[in-house]
């Protein structure tokens, strides 16, 4: 993987948003603070601000995702940017065009930002490394590696409910081994100063040395893992894992790791339950929890728009500084 | 060429002067509202200094509706030059602005760009019946055809002098070369950085 700090420019501003790795608490807090401001845009009659008027954002989704793509699209539109949605898997590359040729063509259309979702880890870094210098890249999920905007919208949701990160106990439950969401969440939670981060998974879905690598505690028992937790984050179980040898069956997974009101009883009474969606009801959690009073799952979706607006506008804003620094602007 | 004589910022108007100016502003607002036959205006302050002034005017006028506050960061006209502005505060308009008479309050009237941005924000929230502009102070340097209806203090500045409100307690108007201001023409478009204290921050 390339140097994670390559996402910052010479002034330490966010130029790309590829991973949480290497970003300090100050910068992550800045993202959350901006998102707080953008949350209000949804309350306006005209749900739009003119900040990124005239900018062009291309959504490059090599892997399907309705929610992530839609919220990125809405975020860009609420910033008044123009949006291109390219379903790459069914377009140019299928005709034999290389990825770099596709990029060059989009750059020739004066695209200012690529939002990239790809099944391959490192894809967003690769594109950032090969894109024209004035173009920003946002990672909307790459393989098992990172999903930084998802992690930040989760941090934003946690901060809105719990305020201070420094006294929290956060449990992440599910397929920690394959989850880019879990990786980004662990990095963000630690960077923001959460003292007790727990990951809960069957042994087959827990990365080796996760405790040493991320500074978290590993649990294999759900009830024990969520004890006194302030936040319980459930991860989506991919169906393809069921078909591999890693999990016995959906039913058996639910018996051991599915969240129910009863199993949630050991968490703090004011604990919130999160899920990046889409939920497999009856696998990761039952409907009573998903639709219950402690669930903030739909709030995560709304918050995702504000957080993506924050990240996109910060990157596009840093581009301006760059252009100015190069003397192409005469004030 | 750069100015070699660096003048430090000094107090231009101290708290009693500002209090007196706000009393005059409140009286003028009452008279203006009466002339226009407006009974129940909504008052809206612009972050950050405008909110400090608006809170006091709101109390003095005894307005029934809660005070609104606007952040104009996302409507600034210098994003394409300087990028995101630090310290964005959430806008909060507790009551719909549709068909309402508004009193928009800011601390310093300079280029007019802040007010241009604030009007754009307001019109994205709805369609007010009218907008009255009240500013604690005004100075030269207008760049847009915008003028306040009610003004508390008039500053006659030399060269690159600036004025800036510091607060919220005590409220003081500083004058001179003020460090930390973006070196841009029409640079009054930003919220005040002199204090992190936000009396109306909407944080859960």
How is residue A270 written in tokens? 């004011």
Residue A130 CA to residue B19 CA, distance in Å, equals: 59
Substitution target in B68, B87, B88 with the highest count of A β-carbons within 10 Å is B88
Residue A42 has pLDDT above 80, yes or no: yes
B71 interfacial to chain A (CB closer than 8 Å) = yes
DSSP β-ladder status, B162-166 and B172-176:
antiparallel
Give domain A148-296's CATH number out of 3.40.50.1370, 3.30.70.520, 3.40.190.10, 3.40.50.2300. 3.40.50.1370
Instruction: For B164-190, write each residue's pLDDT tens digit.
Output: 999 999 999 999 987 665 433 444 444
Do A324 and B81 meet the contact criterion of CB atoms below 8 Å apart?
A: yes
pLDDT of residue B201: 35
Ordered DSSP codes for A209-222: THHHHHS-EEES-H
Start-to-end CA span in chain A (Å): 38
Cα–Cα separations (whole angstroms), residue A261 to A7, A224, A288, A295, B154: 41, 15, 7, 11, 64
Return the closest-CA partner of residue A144 out of A166, A129, A122: A122
Nearest CA to A277 out of A255, A295, A251 is that of: A295
pLDDT at B5 over 60: no
Write the CA distances from A190 to B88, B135, B145, integer angstroms: 25, 45, 51
List, in order, residues 6 or more apart from B57 with CB less than 8 Å away.
B22, B25, B26, B29, B43, B103, B105, B134
Q: Does B124 touch chain A (CB under 8 A)?
A: yes
pLDDT at B202 over 50: no
Chain A, window 110-149: residues with a beta carbon less than 8 angstroms from a chain B beta carbon: none
At residue A242, the pLDDT reads: 67
Query: Does the distance separating the beta carbons of B120 and A44 come in below 8 Å?
Result: no
Tell me the pLDDT of chain A averaged across its residues. Answer: 91
B108-126 pLDDT, tens digit each: 999 999 999 999 999 999 9
pLDDT of amino acid B198 = 35
Helices (H), B62-191: 79-82, 113-125
For chain B, say whether A157 makes contact (Cβ under 8 Å).
no
Give residue A198's pLDDT: 98
| A121, pLDDT greater than 50 | yes
pLDDT-derived band at B74 (thresholds 50, 70, 90) equals very high
Cα(A24)–Cα(B12) distance, integer angstroms? 40
**Do residues A92 and A103 lie in contact, with contact meaning Cβ atoms separated by under 8 Å?**
no
- What is the tens place of the pLDDT at every residue in B26-41? 999 999 999 999 999 9
Outline which parts of chain A fall under CATH 3.40.50.1370.
4-146+302-330, 148-296
Task: Sort out which chain A residues have CB atoms less than 8 A from B202's CB and list them.
Answer: 36
The whole-number average pLDDT for the span B37-48 is 96
Q: Considering CB atoms only, which of B81, B86, B90 is closest to A40?
A: B90
Say whether pLDDT at B3 is over 50. Answer: no
Question: Taking CB atoms and an 8 Å limit, are B184 and A331 in contact across chains?
Answer: yes
| CB atoms closer than 10 angstroms to residue A253 | 22
How many CB pairs below 8 Å do chains A and B form together?
A: 71
Nearest to B106 by CA among B75, B134, B139: B134
Through-space distance between the first and last CA atoms of chain B, rounded to whole angstroms? 49
Tell me: is residue A203 an annotated ligand-binding position.
no
Backbone angles phi, psi at A165, to 5 degrees: -80, -20
Domain A4-146+302-330 classified CATH 3.40.50.1370?
yes
A321 to chain B, any CB pair closer than 8 A? The answer is yes
Among A59-73, A159-173, B143-157, name the one with the lowest average pLDDT. A59-73
Q: State both tokens at B198.
A: 């936000």
Q: What tens digit of pLDDT does each residue of A184-227 get?
A: 999 999 999 999 999 999 999 999 999 999 999 999 999 999 99
- Mark yes or no for CB contact B79/A317 under 8 Å: yes
Would you say A251 is a known binding-site residue? Answer: no
Closest CA to A122 of A149, A145, A152: A145
Q: pLDDT tens for residues B56-73?
A: 999 999 999 999 999 999
User: In whole angstroms, how far apart are CA B109 and each of A22, A181, B32, B122?
Assistant: 42, 47, 19, 18
- The tens digit of pLDDT for each residue in A128-155 reads 999 999 999 999 999 999 999 999 999 9
Q: How far is CA B12 from the centre of its chain?
A: 17
Which stretch of A45-49, A86-90, B129-133, B169-173 has the lowest confidence by average pLDDT? A86-90
Structure tokens at A143: 């393989």
How far does B167 lie from chain A, in Å, by closest CA? 22
> Under an 8 A CB cutoff, do B74 and A49 touch?
yes
Taking CB atoms and an 8 Å limit, are A51 and B75 in contact across chains? yes
Sorted by where each starts, the structural domains of chain B and their CATH numbers stand as: 14-78+89-176 (3.40.50.2020)
pLDDT at B23 over 50: yes
Report the C-alpha gap between B20 and B16 in whole angstroms: 6
- Distance, C-alpha A156 to centroid of its chain: 11
The whole-angstrom separation of Cα A192 and Cα A181 is 16
Positions of A annotated as catalytic residues are 67-68, 95, 117, 147
pLDDT score at B204: 36
Instruction: Assign B90 a pLDDT band (cuts: 50, 70, 90).
Output: confident
Residue A60's region, left for phi above 0, alpha for psi from -120 to 50, else beta, is beta
- Does the CB of A326 have a partner CB in chain B at under 8 Å? no
- Mean pLDDT to the nearest integer, B131-147: 97
A180 is in an annotated binding site: yes
**Mean pLDDT, rounded, for A170-189:** 97
Q: Quickly state the pLDDT bin for A69 (edges 50, 70, 90).
A: very high
How large is the average pLDDT for residues A36-43?
93
- Residues A316 and A50: their CA atoms lie apart, in Å, by 13
A299: pLDDT confidence band, cut at 50, 70 and 90? very high
The count of other CB atoms within 10 Å of the CB of residue A251 is 10
pLDDT category at B139 given cuts 50, 70, 90 is very high
């Amino acid at each position: 993987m390339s140097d994670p700090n390559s996402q910052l420019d010479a002034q330490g501003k966010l130029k790309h948003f590829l991973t949480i790795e290497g970003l300090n608490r100050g910068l992550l807090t800045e993202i959350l603070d901006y998102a707080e401001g953008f949350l209000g845009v949804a309350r306006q009659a005209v749900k739009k601000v003119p900040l990124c008027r005239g900018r062009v954002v291309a959504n490059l989704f090599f892997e399907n995702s309705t929610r992530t793509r839609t919220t990125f699209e809405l975020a860009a539109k609420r910033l008044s940017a123009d949006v291109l949605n390219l379903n790459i898997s069914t377009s140019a590359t299928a005709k034999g065009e290389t990825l770099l040729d596709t990029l060059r063509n989009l750059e020739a259309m004066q695209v200012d930002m690529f939002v990239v979702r790809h099944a391959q880890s490192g894809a967003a870094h690769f594109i950032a490394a090969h894109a024209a210098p004035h173009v920003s890249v946002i990672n909307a999920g790459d393989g098992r590696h990172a999903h930084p905007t998802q992690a930040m919208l989760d941090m934003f949701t946690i901060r809105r409910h719990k305020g201070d990160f420094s006294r929290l106990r956060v449990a992440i439950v599910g397929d920690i081994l394959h989850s880019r969401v879990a990786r980004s969440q662990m990095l963000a939670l630690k960077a923001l100063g959460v003292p007790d981060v727990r990951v809960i998974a069957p042994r087959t879905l827990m990365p080796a040395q996760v405790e040493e690598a991320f500074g978290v505690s590993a649990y294999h028992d759900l009830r024990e893992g969520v004890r006194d937790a302030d936040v319980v984050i459930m991860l989506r179980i991919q169906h393809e894992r069921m078909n591999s040898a890693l999990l016995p069956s959906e039913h058996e997974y639910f018996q051991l790791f599915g969240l129910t009101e009863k199993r949630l009883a050991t968490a703090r009474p004011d604990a919130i339950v999160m899920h990046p969606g889409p939920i497999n009801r009856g696998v990761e959690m039952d409907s009573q929890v998903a639709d219950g009073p402690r669930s903030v799952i739909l709030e995560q979706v709304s918050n995702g728009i504000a957080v993506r607006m924050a990240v996109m506008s910060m990157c596009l804003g840093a581009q301006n500084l760059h252009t100015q620094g190069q003397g192409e602007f005469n004030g | 060429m750069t100015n070699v004589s660096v003048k430090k910022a000094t107090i231009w108007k101290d708290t009693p002067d500002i209090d007196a100016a706000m009393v005059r502003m409140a009286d003028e607002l009452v008279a203006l509202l009466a002339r226009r036959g407006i009974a129940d205006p909504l008052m809206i302050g612009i972050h950050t200094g405008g909110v400090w002034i608006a809170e006091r005017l709101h109390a003095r006028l005894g307005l029934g509706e809660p005070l609104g506050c606007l952040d104009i960061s996302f409507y600034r006209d210098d994003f394409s030059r300087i990028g995101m502005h630090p310290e964005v505060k959430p806008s909060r308009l507790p009551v719909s602005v549709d068909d309402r008479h508004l009193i928009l309050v800011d601390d310093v009237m300079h280029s007019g760009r802040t007010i241009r941005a604030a009007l754009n924000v307001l019109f994205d929230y709805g369609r007010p019946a009218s907008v009255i502009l009240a500013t604690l102070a005004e100075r030269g340097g207008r760049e847009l055809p915008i003028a306040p209806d009610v003004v508390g203090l008039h500053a006659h500045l030399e060269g690159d002098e600036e004025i800036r409100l510091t607060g919220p307690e005590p409220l003081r108007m500083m004058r001179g070369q003020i460090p930390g201001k973006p070196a841009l023409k029409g640079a009054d478009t930003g919220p005040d950085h002199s204090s992190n204290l936000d009396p109306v921050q909407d944080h859960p």
